[in-house]
Amino acid sequence: MNYILASASPRRRELLALLGHPFEIHVPRVEERVDPLWTAAEAARNLAQQKALDVSASFPGACVIAADTIVEIDGILLGKPVDAADAARMLRLLSGREHRVVTGVCLQLGSRERVFSRETLVRFYPLSGEEIAAYVRSGEPMDKAGAYGIQGRGALLVEGITGDYFNVVGLPVAMLAREIAPFACEGGGAQRRGVFS
């Protein structure tokens, strides 16, 4: 089975490597559009599906893995900030409060697909204006949903989490391992493998 990661994210690349399957990387070329009526889970799953379908069209015989992460607070969906001011706005929203991080994942193999999502709760410490400005100046928030990276300097903002840490990083890798094994074997007559096989 050939596997393709439909993502430019180095974090997702590192996490997918834990599964032990060789894979290629092909970055999807889709304009990420979110319906304002979607929930965070719907947005994450739909965006992951768009990415997977885009790459799968060129590689119909491969198992394409795509993901998208959305941060939600007070019903407001936070993707990647468009600029430094937007990043600071997001961080002010999250300061001292709990928010949800939802990662949607889509597995696409020809006409077959499996779409699922995982949710993690994250609590931030109260952040001063100076702390927010310094973190934004670091540049780290600019390519991350919710304007922070828990695996980087953003860890200093986090008071605690409830749920899957790797889901916040961008890929619920343990859940993916359990979803991908039966999916890759469906219809091929192969025996189902465990997560370490």
Number of neighbours of residue 146 by Cβ within 10 angstroms: 29
Of these residues, 35, 68, 143, 164, which one is catalytic? 68
* Pairing assessment for the beta strands 158-162 and 112-124 based on DSSP bridges: antiparallel
Q: For tokens 């300061």, what's the residue?
A: 95
Quick one: DSSP state of residue 76? E
Verify whether residue 68 is a known catalytic residue. yes
- For residue 162, the one-letter residue type is T
For the chain, the C-alpha Rg in angstroms (whole number) is 17
Quote the Cα angle for 13-161-119, to 5°.
Answer: 60
Helix (H, G, I), strand (E, B) or coil at 27: coil
Reading the block at residue 101, the tokens are 């991080």
Q: Which residues are catalytic?
A: 68
